[in-house]
């Protein structure tokens, strides 16, 4: 049994295994639907934040592996009336074999994991989005391979950026991040990415210059400027980081555009890029299904 809470706790070798397993499961859909490797296990999904892709991907991924699923949110549970999260977890571990959660602060989740004896999967916190990163790496592998690949991430150095930094460095993929001053990724993730990059031979650069990041990039990645729970944040400062036809001229001609969705056309990305042939955002979204199957097998050491 393993938790899947922080990408910092997943070594480079295991990240590569997760990506390879995701690819295998995608290429062999008949196998994983027939084998039911996690037959009759129960998965509970807790959502304290809204979700579309994570919720659907985990639900269908679990069922394809033979699991039963149940969804809990604040509107349909005692969490909405103030029940402590640890109490909810202690009940769930009596019913289920694993739990995935989309929540706010990560530290309480890490504390809870010390007391709970079933696998906990971080389906998004304010600090990380490790499930998204496995799907992203699968997408990059499919579209560009992983040798001599440069990823440019633009905008807010948020949870997606933190996880992507470490994920790319783990596989030897160059990652250049451009954000406004004061909006860069968390220092802990920068340091870990740099440490892993030394071993894999990749490059990590954090800059405030979007052109420097995008120059000769194979992949351009962005996310919303205002994440869930940050409503009211000033957007004006992010405008130079918008992915538009002028900025992408600095990338390679065959670059791909990635976004974890939902996207705000006209803010972090223009419609002509979002809906262009360069965009692989829906392939990327599909890959959540396959990567989530790999994550479920991983936490059960299968």
Q: Which residues participate in catalysis according to the annotation? A: 102, 129, 132, 223, 260, 288
Alpha-carbon torsion, ordered 12, 262, 210, 220, to 10 deg = 60
- Residue 123 to residue 100: CA distance in whole angstroms: 6
Q: Quick check: 178 and 152 in contact, CB under 8 A?
A: yes
**Residue 252 backbone zone (phi > 0: left; psi -120 to 50: alpha; other: beta):** beta
Nearest to 16 by CA among 250, 153, 276, 202: 202
For residue 175, which phi and psi values (nearest 5 degrees)?
-135, 125
Q: Quick check: 102 and 47 in contact, CB under 8 A?
A: yes
Which element (helix H / strand E) includes 68? strand 68-73
What are the Cα distances from residue 234, in Å, to 180, 183, 225?
Answer: 12, 11, 9
Q: What is the DSSP letter of 301?
A: T
Distance of CA 22 to the CA centre of its chain: 14
Residue 162, helix vs strand vs coil: helix
């Amino acid at each position: 049994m393993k938790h899947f809470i922080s990408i910092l706790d997943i070594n480079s070798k295991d990240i590569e295994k997760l990506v390879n397993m995701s690819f295998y499961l995608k290429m062999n859909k008949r196998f994983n639907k027939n084998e039911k490797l996690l037959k009759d296990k129960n998965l509970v999904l807790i959502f304290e934040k809204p979700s579309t892709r994570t919720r659907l991907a985990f639900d269908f991924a679990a069922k394809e592996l033979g699991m039963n699923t149940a969804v809990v949110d604040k509107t349909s549970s005692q969490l909405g009336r103030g029940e402590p999260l640890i109490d909810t977890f202690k009940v769930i571990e009596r019913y289920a074999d694993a739990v995935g959660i989309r929540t706010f602060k990560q530290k309480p989740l890490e504390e809870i994991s010390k007391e709970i004896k079933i696998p906990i999967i971080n389906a998004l916190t304010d600090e990380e989005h490790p499930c998204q990163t496995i799907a992203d790496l699968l997408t990059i592998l499919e579209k560009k391979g992983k040798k001599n690949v440069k990823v440019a991430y633009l905008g807010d150095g948020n949870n997606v950026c933190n996880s992507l930094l470490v994920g790319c460095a783990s596989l030897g993929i160059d990652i250049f991040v451009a954000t406004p001053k004061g909006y860069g990724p968390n220092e802990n993730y920068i340091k870990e990415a740099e440490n892993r990059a030394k071993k894999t031979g990749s490059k990590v650069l954090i800059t405030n210059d979007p052109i420097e990041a995008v120059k000769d990039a194979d992949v351009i990645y962005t996310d919303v400027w205002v994440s869930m729970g940050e409503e009211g944040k000033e957007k004006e400062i992010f405008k130079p980081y918008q992915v538009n036809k002028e900025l992408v001229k600095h990338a390679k001609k065959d670059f791909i555009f990635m976004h974890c969705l939902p996207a705000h056309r006209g803010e972090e990305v223009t419609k002509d890029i979002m809906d262009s042939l360069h965009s692989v955002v829906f392939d990327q979204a599909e890959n959540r299904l396959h990567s989530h199957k790999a994550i479920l097998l991983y936490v059960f050491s299968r």
